[in-house]
């Protein structure tokens, strides 16, 4: 049985976006499922538009998602001699030829074809001229003039294109650089790629690439084209729908586990299951369950998944992550580990968790009070109760939740008041706002000294 080899081949002309990351994931999963190999290839033949910082960003995003490669990254810009070698083979065997037509002449040919209601394409003027190398000359494939180019798409099923629809497309530009389709075929062939899974925006390239395979006498891989991802308005996902760069989602506080789980569900299903570990995805992934129709990006679904993975993650792991999101962090990680369990049930993203954690981390004298909360809850009567509670807290040696509950219960009994009379004033005093994790859990994590210091400050706070 032939070893499965897949590849992901982004162009470093932009950041890794959601669609590209999903393509990478499908290829990675298929390789892992079959104990094959996953290759990463940077398609940087467009020297004018390719950027080194984009390459770094792509590699960073792949690393963040945990999509490790078995080979690569390879760079097309370092393989130019190999492409020229294969192009020369095609010329030597009569499968390709030099063309001296200028871009303006080729465009005129297309316009003439349009005027006659025909497919706008190069008309083959230099096909039989037997030209050699020369300044300004390109090399074109001598494509078949009749018949069909067919392939069985792994996702869409049988596809056939009449060769009359194609033309003698360019393999090598006038500056000596290879075109995309030629470079891709040479790379996939020499790297032993068996399965090409990519977005269906590439489907028009596939017949051309098959013709190159045939001209070279090389077995072609299996092709599968994944439908595009749409925004909520059912139009192609773009910046107007929000972030499309994968690393923007890291900045927004999403976990890689959630992104992987969400991306795979954008076009793949396994019954009604929604949540998959990485190991479960490798076990259950199949090409048969890839969708033939476009998927719609749903931010609410992604947030739901992210909140699930936040709840499932260990406090120690989350504390290490949270450190990246909180401002001017200088506390011990063990302190963050105490904070995290209080916020896990509430936070949908790490950014949200960082915002919720801020009152724990800010210096006591710099705690910001919500003005409306102060007016409503820090009344003269409430401040008197706060001072009395402080007096009792100062006397206790234990500052655990159980002891704090007992102290407050005794005070409520002695003062003849209900819990709601004092609960919000204490919360505003120690957090600056009216919503927070459980009161006693919060006091325990803050500790005796800081809790009392904040409550005393609130007693005399003038706004």
Q: How many CA atoms lie within 13 A of 103 on its CB side?
A: 3
- Structure token digits, residue 448: 């005796």
Torsion angle of C-alpha atoms 450, 452, 456, 458, degrees rounded to 10: 70
User: Could you tell me whether strands 138-141 and 170-172 are parallel, antiparallel, or unpaired per DSSP bridges?
Assistant: antiparallel
Q: Is 331 helix (H, G, I), strand (E, B) or coil?
A: coil
Q: What is the DSSP letter of 97?
A: E
The secondary structure of the chain in percent helix, strand, coil, rounded to multiples of 5, reads: 50, 15, 35
Burial class of residue 268 in the structure, from the number of CB atoms within 10 Å of its CB (0-12 exposed, 13-18 middle, 19+ buried): buried
Question: How many Å apart are CA 401 and CA 443, to the nearest integer?
Answer: 8
Q: How far is CA 112 from CA 123, 140, 149, in A?
A: 10, 20, 25
Closest CA to 41 of 69, 3, 5: 69
- Is 348 a known active-site residue? no
Buried b (16+ CB within 10 A) or exposed e, 209-246: bbbbeebbeeebbebbbbbbbbbeeeeebeeebebbbb
Q: Are 110 and 120 in contact (CB under 8 A)?
A: yes
Structure token digits, residue 189: 């062939």
Identified catalytic residue from 119, 142, 219, 239: 239
Which pair of structure tokens corresponds to residue 76?
A: 């097309």
**Backbone φ and ψ of 358, nearest 5°:** -60, -40
Given a contact cutoff of 8 angstroms between Cβ atoms, the answer to whether 338 and 423 are in contact is no
Spell out the residues 6+ positions from residue 201 whose beta carbon is closer than 8 angstroms to its own: 228
Contact predicate 459/383, CB 8 Å: yes
Beta strand ranges found along 136-271 (DSSP E):
138-141, 148-153, 157-162, 170-172, 195-199, 222-226, 229-230
SS3 (DSSP) at 321 = helix
CB atoms within 10 A of CB 378: 20
* Beta-carbon contacts of residue 50 (< 8 Å; ≥ 6 apart): 11, 12, 13, 44, 77
Tell me which residues are annotated as active site: 239
């Amino acid at each position: 049985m032939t070893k499965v080899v897949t590849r992901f081949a982004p162009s470093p002309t932009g950041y890794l976006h959601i669609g590209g990351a999903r393509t990478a994931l499908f290829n990675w999963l298929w390789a892992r499922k079959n104990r094959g190999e996953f290759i990463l290839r940077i398609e940087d033949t467009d020297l004018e538009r390719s950027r080194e910082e984009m390459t770094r960003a792509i590699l960073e995003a792949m690393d963040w998602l945990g999509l490790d490669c078995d080979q690569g990254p390879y760079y097309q810009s370092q393989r130019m001699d190999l492409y020229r070698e294969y192009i020369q083979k095609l010329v030597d065997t009569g499968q390709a030829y030099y063309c001296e037509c200028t871009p303006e002449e080729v465009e005129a040919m297309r316009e003439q074809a349009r005027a006659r209601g025909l497919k706008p394409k190069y008309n083959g003027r230099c096909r039989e001229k037997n030209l050699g190398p020369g300044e300004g000359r390109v090399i074109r494939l001598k494509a078949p003039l009749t018949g069909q180019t067919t392939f069985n798409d792994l996702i869409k099923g049988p596809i056939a294109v009449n060769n009359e629809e194609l033309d003698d497309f360019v393999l090598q530009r006038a500056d000596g650089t290879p075109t995309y389709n030629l470079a891709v075929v040479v790379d996939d062939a020499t790297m032993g790629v068996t399965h090409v899974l990519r977005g269906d925006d590439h489907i028009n390239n596939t017949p051309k690439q098959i013709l190159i395979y045939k001209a070279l006498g090389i077995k072609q891989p299996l092709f599968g084209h994944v439908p595009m991802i749409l925004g909520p308005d059912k139009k192609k996902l773009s910046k107007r729908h929000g972030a499309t760069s994968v690393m923007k989602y890291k900045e927004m506080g999403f976990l890689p586990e959630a992104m992987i789980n969400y991306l795979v569900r954008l076009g793949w299903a396994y019954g009604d299951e929604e949540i998959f570990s990485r190991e479960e995805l490798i076990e259950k992934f199949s090409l048969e369950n890839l969708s033939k129709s476009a998927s719609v990006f749903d931010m609410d679904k992604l947030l739901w998944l992210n909140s699930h993975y936040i709840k499932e993650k260990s406090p120690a792991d989350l504390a290490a992550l949270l450190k990246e999101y909180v401002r001017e962090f200088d506390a011990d990680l063990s302190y963050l580990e105490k904070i995290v369990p209080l916020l896990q049930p509430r936070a949908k993203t790490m950014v949200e968790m960082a915002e919720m954690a801020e009152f724990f981390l800010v210096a006591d004298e710099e705690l910001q009070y919500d003005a409306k909360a102060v007016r409503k809850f820090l009344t003269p009567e409430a401040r008197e109760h706060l001072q009395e509670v402080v007096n009792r807290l100062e006397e206790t040696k234990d500052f655990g939740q159980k002891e704090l509950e007992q102290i407050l219960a005794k005070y409520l009994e002695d003062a003849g008041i209900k819990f709601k009379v004092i609960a919000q004033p204490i919360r505003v005093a120690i957090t600056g706002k009216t919503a927070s994790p459980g009161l006693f859990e919060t006091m325990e994590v803050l500790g005796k000294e800081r809790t009392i210091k904040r409550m005393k400050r609130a007693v005399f706070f003038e706004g």
